Every structure is written in structure tokens, then in C-alpha cells.
Amino acid sequence: MKVSHLPGQSNLYSQGVDFGTQIIGCYTETFNKVDSTNNVAIRLGKEFKPEGTLVIAEDQTVGRGRHSRTWYSAPGLNILATVILRHWLLKSQIGLPCLIGAVAVADAIRECTGLSTEIKWPNDVQVNGRKVAGLLAELEYDHRRQPFLVLGFGVNVNVESFPIGLRQTATSLQIESGETWCRITLLGAILRWIEKYYFDLKNSQTGPLIERSNQLCSILGRKIEIEAAEKTFSGIAEGIEKDGGLLLLLNQESKNRRKFLIGEVVRTSR
């Protein structure tokens, strides 16, 4: 899986790559540069492209994360991709797609590199406490008013350095391991893990996903602050629930708890 030549130049545009999946990535749209892989996937979804369609780009000009934050990525060195999913989500499942992506990326990195990964609920993957990947799930509707989901993921693979403002919070597989990694191999592993957990979701068997999420979650048992609904809540992160929500113990004396389906962890302490 390691390559010592071709630093970041493995061809993500290769047509006909067999990722070993049944639907995810079986139809692929590849680009040199796009505004955002999620934006492209949304356009394709509205054109009724099949479930599992994969959009890959070497560079994106307005890549974004949650809350419309800019996603930094050096061209030609990372994985920038989005998949189209067409399963009808129940209201109780709305928090699960992003969790599927985060756990899939974390498991794939472990599988391919041996690095220890964690997830920071709800959509970051970390190595040694710094962000190595991010996820963004967006719900849209096609022209027949049928819902579909786009699940985007960016993985810092072969970046050797970051802008000064990101060096304390961001990292890459190259920085953490000192090795250059084949992006096609890693992408295939990510897609297989996404498909595994996605099929579980479609079959209403999300137990393994939730169990794995709790194993990987870096904030459990720690005091955190979470921003949600324009308010800040403080408490002990107790676990990820079956709907993907984070359970927070707000008051240890009264045992008052609250579940968050959306929100952002802005501070953690031991």
C-alpha cells in the first residue's frame, strides 16, 4: 500500500477502477478542478444519476465544511470526493449519514496505514488530536421532489505542511507517518466501509455503526462545550445514541441530560 515514488501523483482519474463495491463508486465522475464535489454531486443527483455515484476531484475552488467553512486542500495530494445516496431516511436517522462517513474514513485509515484514528463528533476524523479528514452530508431533492443525500469527504493524505494558521489543528497521513500513500488504495477502502455501514442502515441494522462510533469517539467521558441552536451547553459527553445524537450530562447532581442531533464541540477538557 505504501509507495516511495509518485508523491501524490497516483491517478485518481483512472476509469474502470474496481473498488470492490456493489454500488458505491461503480459510476464515477472525475474532474481536475471543481467548485465543490458536493455541489457537483447535487447537480448530478438532480439529473437522476444512480445511487452510489462517486464524484472525485484533484482540486476544488470553494470546498467547504460544516457551517460553510472553507476546506483547505493542496491540489493533487489529497482525496476530495462525494457519493450520492438515495435511501429514504427516517427522521430518527438524520444524524447517521455523517457518522457513517466519519467511521468509514477512520476505519479505512487504520486499515491502510496502521495509524490510530479517532472521530470528533459529528464529522471530524483525527490522528493524534489533529484533524486529518472532514465530512459534510447534505440533503437535497431532485426534480421529482424525491430526496437524496450527498456525502462529501476530504482526507489530507500526502500534504507535507499546512498554512501557519492550520498547523496546530490539521495534519495529514504523510505528516503523521512519514510515508507517502496511494490515494486510490485508501479511497477504495473508504468506499467499501461506507457501503458496509450504509447497507446496515438500509437494513435497519445500525448497531455495529453505533458501537464503532462510541469506540472511536475522542470526547466521551470528557467535559465539553457544545454550540447548538445559537446557545452553548457544557457537560460530560456520555455517548453516541442509536440515532447518531450525542448524549450530554449537563448536571451531575440532578443527572439532567440532553441529546444533540446537531451541534459543534467547541471546547474539550480532560
Amino acid at 136: L
The reported pTM is: 0.91
For 28-215, CATH gives 3.30.930.10
Q: Which class is domain 219-269?
A: mainly beta
Which pLDDT tens digit goes with each residue over 48-86? 999 999 999 999 987 655 545 566 678 899 999 999 999
Alpha helices in 48-167 (DSSP H): 96-113
**Residues 148-160 pLDDT 10s:** 999 999 999 999 9
Torsion of CA 15, 97, 113, 23, to 10 degrees: -30
List C-alpha distances in Å: 120 to 98, 228, 233, 270.
12, 16, 17, 15
Segments in the chain below pLDDT 70 = 1-16, 63-72, 270
Q: Which residues touch 203 (CB under 8 Å, ≥6 apart)?
A: none
**Cell 474496481 appears where?**
18
Count other C-beta atoms under 10 Å from residue 33's C-beta: 10
Report d(CA 57, CA 59) in Å as an integer.
5
Residues in the chain, how many? 270
Annotated domain spans of the chain: 28-215, 219-269
> What does the alpha-carbon distance between residue 107 and residue 189 come to, in Å, rounded to a whole number?
8
Strand partners, 256: 251
Q: 28-215 with 219-269: one CATH topology? A: no
